[in-house]
């Protein structure tokens, strides 16, 4: 029986100093006012070029990131692999617009694929399409009826080339590749692009994975249709299933632009949709591979029990669980201890470039009901077990 209350297993890889640092950090992000002030202070410090890199690197960066370079991530990769938890190297530089920067991101993603091919400890690679494309062109492409300028068409051709080069590298190196989900207003464009890559590169095995955000009311039907299309077209469907990361933005955008809110009205409705999707995917396992990207204890336990109920080995490589580095270790480490395939997203990149990601993690831990209090209660329990002050 899997228990997510076992803090000895959850924090087995953490030193006393790691545990104390995590305690201080989650204590801080449990205070919304502190997070809001921290975001303002960080942006202000950057605007006046105040040297905050060292402080950030020793605190929130150390909790949620593997390092500034792939080489700096080695210790994290090895530490996780000691507990049979894989690493998904995530180059978390965002918001670039120039062709030069977009090309640089593409090359960095390909370098993570090459690295993954060399080690069992890195089971997947990952990237966001907005890492290799401007948001504006994806927004125009989202609705196929939009008229594109010659410039837009040329830019989209470049986007497709970059995505194609990444997917071809993943296929040639036999490294499964997650393509992350993004905002509602560009997701249709991403879905079409990812599907075209699946058709091309998932003939023999699941290489290219789309990401489906189950907080959207239309995604369960989308998932079922996508699997059916893959069956009919003769390729392996592959998906990373998440709840979603842009809820507040999505609701505000729908309100501003006057279209229906795409998000489930209640958390329970979202949870029900996520678990229904898990059941559907397990039943279709002969045709697909999937990863449950979730920090939800109930869904994680539900999937493990589904595998047992259907007589599927928990270590079947077609099914993975994934969480973010620095969060939900009680889920990751206890699942791994119980023979499940688990990987952690390990973001990396220059401290200044990764700050938007880090601020989102702090805000997410503040806004998700119960997330921070659960992390804190488990850390406190382990501190008491270790008799730490």
Q: What is the CATH number of the domain that holds 305?
A: 3.20.20.220
If asked whether residues 132 and 274 sit together in one domain, one would say: yes
Q: What's the Cα-to-Cα distance from 3 to each of 26, 154, 188, 337, 339, rounded to whole Å?
A: 22, 53, 38, 10, 13
Burial class of residue 206 (count of CB atoms within 10 Å of its CB; 0-12, 13-18, 19+):
buried
If asked whether residues 198 and 113 sit together in one domain, one would say: yes
Report residue 101 as tokens: 């920067």
The pLDDT score that the predictor gives to residue 389 is 65
The pLDDT score that the predictor gives to residue 275 is 98
If asked whether residues 172 and 157 sit together in one domain, one would say: yes
If asked whether residues 185 and 328 sit together in one domain, one would say: yes
The pLDDT score that the predictor gives to residue 51 is 60
If asked whether residues 168 and 278 sit together in one domain, one would say: yes
What does each of the 389 residues of the chain score in pLDDT, given as a tens digit?
A: 899 999 999 999 999 999 999 888 888 776 666 556 456 555 545 554 556 566 778 878 899 999 999 999 999 999 999 999 999 999 988 778 899 999 999 999 999 999 999 999 999 999 999 999 999 999 999 998 999 999 999 999 999 999 999 999 999 999 999 999 999 999 999 999 999 999 999 999 999 999 999 999 999 999 999 999 999 999 999 999 999 877 778 888 888 888 889 999 999 999 999 999 999 999 999 999 999 999 999 999 999 999 999 999 999 999 999 999 999 999 999 999 999 999 999 999 998 888 777 776 666 655 554 566 888 899 999 999 998 86
If asked whether residues 209 and 326 sit together in one domain, one would say: yes
If asked whether residues 1 and 11 sit together in one domain, one would say: yes
> How far is Cα 201 from Cα 341, in angstroms, rounded to an integer?
23
If asked whether residues 253 and 268 sit together in one domain, one would say: yes
The pLDDT score that the predictor gives to residue 52 is 56
Number of domains in the chain: 2
pTM assigned to the model:
0.93
> How far is Cα 388 from Cα 383, in angstroms, rounded to an integer?
5
Angular region, 347: left φ>0, alpha ψ -120 to 50, beta rest = beta
Domain region containing 263: 67-348
> How far is Cα 129 from Cα 126, in angstroms, rounded to an integer?
10
If asked whether residues 226 and 138 sit together in one domain, one would say: yes
If asked whether residues 297 and 242 sit together in one domain, one would say: yes
If asked whether residues 286 and 361 sit together in one domain, one would say: no
If asked whether residues 332 and 370 sit together in one domain, one would say: no
């Amino acid at each position: 029986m899997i228990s997510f209350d076992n803090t000895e297993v959850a924090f087995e890889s953490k030193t006393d100093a790691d545990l104390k640092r995590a305690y201080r950090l989650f204590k801080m992000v449990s205070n919304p006012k502190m997070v809001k002030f921290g975001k303002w202070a960080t942006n202000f410090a950057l605007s006046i070029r105040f040297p905050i890199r060292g402080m950030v690197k020793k605190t929130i960066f150390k909790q949620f990131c593997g390092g500034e370079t792939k080489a700096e991530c080695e210790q994290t990769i090895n530490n996780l692999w000691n507990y049979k938890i894989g690493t998904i190297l995530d180059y978390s530089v965002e918001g670039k617009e120039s062709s030069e920067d977009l090309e640089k991101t593409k090359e960095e993603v390909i370098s993570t694929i090459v690295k993954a091919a060399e080690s069992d400890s890195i089971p997947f690679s990952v990237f966001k399409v907005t890492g290799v494309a401007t948001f504006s062109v994806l927004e125009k492409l989202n609705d196929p009826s939009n008229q594109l300028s010659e410039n837009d068409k040329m830019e989209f051709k470049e986007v497709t080339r970059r995505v194609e080069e990444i997917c071809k590298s993943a296929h040639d190196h036999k490294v499964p590749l997650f393509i992350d989900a993004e905002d509602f207003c560009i997701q249709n464009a991403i879905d079409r692009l990812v599907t075209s890559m699946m058709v091309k590169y998932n003939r023999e095995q699941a290489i290219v994975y789309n990401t489906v955000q189950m907080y959207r009311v239309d995604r369960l039907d989308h998932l079922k249709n996508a699997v059916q299309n893959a069956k009919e077209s003769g390729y392996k469907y592959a998906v990373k299933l998440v709840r979603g990361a842009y809820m507040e933005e999505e609701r505000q955008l729908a309100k501003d632009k006057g279209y229906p809110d795409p998000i489930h009205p209640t958390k329970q409705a979202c949870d029900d949709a996520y678990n229904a999707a898990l059941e559907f995917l397990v039943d279709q396992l002969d045709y697909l591979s999937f990863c449950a990207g979730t920090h939800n204890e109930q869904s994680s336990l539900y999937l493990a029990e589904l595998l047992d109920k259907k007589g599927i080995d928990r270590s079947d490589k077609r099914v993975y669980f994934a969480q973010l580095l620095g969060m939900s270790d009680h889920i990751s480490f206890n699942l791994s201890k119980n023979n499940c395939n688990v990987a952690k997203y390990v973001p990396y990149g220059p401290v200044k470039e990764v700050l938007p990601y880090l601020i989102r993690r702090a805000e997410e831990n503040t806004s998700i009901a119960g997330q921070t209090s659960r992390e804190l209660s488990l850390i406190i329990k382990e501190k008491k077990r270790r008799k730490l002050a």
